[in-house]
Amino acid sequence: MNYMKITKCDIANGPGCRVTLWVSGCEHHCFNCHNPETWPTTAGKPFTKQTMDTLIALTAPYYIAGLTFSGGDPLHPANRETVMKIAARFKQVYPEKNIWLWTGYMWNEVKDITGIENIDVLVDGEFFYPMRDLSLQWRGSANQEVIDVTRSLESNRIISYKEKQ
């Protein structure tokens, strides 16, 4: 898997201060995508053991709420295995922190991926420009869902994420 960059303190892609891994590879090619440079799976640089060690170290501080996967599409078939290995390792080291993941795939297309249970919140669906709504939290268009993965897997239906007050 390739990745474009790691953002060390991201406050736009999930609650709190987070570390975001921007992966390469996306087959959705949404109109007005804000990261078209991430579409080719060959963009960026290879994700290595050293990259994993860096990611784990960057997420260590107490003020880092969790890890975010964005891109590209973390659930592009070329990325799934590596992303799920990263998620499993992160949860092993930081079980108290959460993982958010943005994907253009629909929940029903990805809910059975091995390791998906390590993702806490998944934002699904392609960005659809005619439904763009800047007032929406955590998503760009009204067709996208912000899904509580644990509760959705337990109930076998989509349960929307609700931020704790």
pLDDT in tens, the chain (165 residues): 999 999 999 999 999 999 999 999 999 999 999 899 999 999 999 999 999 999 999 999 999 999 999 999 999 999 999 999 999 999 999 999 999 999 999 999 999 999 999 999 999 999 999 999 999 999 999 999 999 999 999 999 999 998 764
Position 53: which residue type?
Answer: D
* Conformational region of residue 161, where left means phi above 0, alpha means psi within -120 to 50, and beta covers everything else: beta
User: Among candidates 58, 54, 99, which has minimal Cα distance to 75?
Assistant: 99
- Residue entry with tokens 């994907």: 103
Predicted local distance difference test score (pLDDT) of residue 165 = 42
CB of 122 within 8 A of CB of 112?
A: no
* SS3 of residue 12 by DSSP: coil
Centre a 10 Å sphere on the Cβ of residue 103 and count the other Cβ atoms it contains.
29
- Say what the pLDDT of residue 64 is: 98
Q: How far apart are the first and last CA of the chain?
A: 36
Tokens of 129: 């420009």
- Whether the CA torsion 128, 10, 116, 26 is positive or negative: it is positive
